[in-house]
Structure 1
């Protein structure tokens, strides 16, 4: 009986570890994004209703930072696509938050 209990505890620990590591994707995820390494992750916040995706906003995302400063001028707006952001913003990956957030779009200068 003790061996079965230990085995059950090990299985639960492995499942919890794999879930926290993102190896078991959430079943109810509606939006998937790619992080800065190109790995898919669930980018829709649970319980949040987003506007429908219509088209991408003009401009491009600012370069992804290599380091985190810890300084923010405003609270981030999490997003699964550009349609969840204001008109002049893009839904871009943020290395520090490890999630997509609305960022001011950059436009090429010619």
Structure 2
């Protein structure tokens, strides 16, 4: 899947961290492999090893930069349909999607 570079926060050799393309919830991040696959079992050992560290780093950045309407310590590893698929997402408080993208992009540097 092609991701607009504007939404990309961080890239590694095997992974892309981006803000969800269609979510109005600031801080709704997606972590995706650069390889087209439907199974983690098909990924290289190196990609899988990198995944663990990237999940941990993303959670740490969230905890240190509580920019979304969460308390900054959650890391949800599934799509919450209320925000991901609802054409009219719930109202949010706090930073905008644009503000969160810039702050989290800086934190990954």
Instruction: Indicate the TM-score class for this superposition, using the shorter chain for normalisation.
Output: under 0.3
Normalising by structure 2, we get a TM-score of 0.22
Bigger helix share: 2
Q: Between the two structures, name the one with larger relative contact order (CA 8 Å, sep ≥ 6).
A: 2
Normalising by structure 1, we get a TM-score of 0.22
